[in-house]
Amino acid sequence: MKKDITSRTDIEFLVNQFYLKVRDDESLGPIFDQKFNVNWDTHLVKMYSFWESILFHTGTFNGNPMKKHKEVHQTCPFTQALFERWLHLFNETVNQNFEGEIANQAKVRALSIATVMQIKILYPSDPQQN
């Protein structure tokens, strides 16, 4: 029986494991490491706060993911397949390490955010505005 996600330490573990898979993935890895040249020290800390804010309502994240991904999309266009791969790896990482109510919430929130991102980025109602 696996434990649920209950602390910042669990979130750090989950996020670290997830981005190891992302960096190792042949479709997602190059986006982060080559095209966008992500600074992992800052990105990972930001992602801990993002997930902590979502799952534990800490309010510690103050970024703007939609704006950021629209910028990323200009340099490196997103596709539905990339989002599906991202979600697959995220769900796999949660399932391999945790189970319980918060673990389920993490998967549900990832799906809903990824869905909204896809709609706004891949199917903008007004491309000038988006």
Chain contacts with ligand HEM (rule: CB under 6 A)? 28, 31-32, 36, 38-39, 43, 46, 50, 63-65, 68-69, 72, 78, 82-83, 86, 110, 113-114, 117
Nearer to ligand HEM, 9 or 65 (CB): 65
CA 6, chain centre distance (Å): 19
Tokens of 36: 């966008």
Q: What angle do CA 73, 116, 49 make, to 5 degrees?
A: 80
Q: Which single residue brings its beta carbon nearest to ligand HEM?
A: 63
Contact yes or no for 36/76 (Cβ under 8 A): yes
Nearer to ligand HEM, 43 or 97 (CB): 43
Nearer to ligand HEM, 9 or 33 (CB): 33
- Alpha carbons 38 and 30: distance in angstroms, whole number: 10
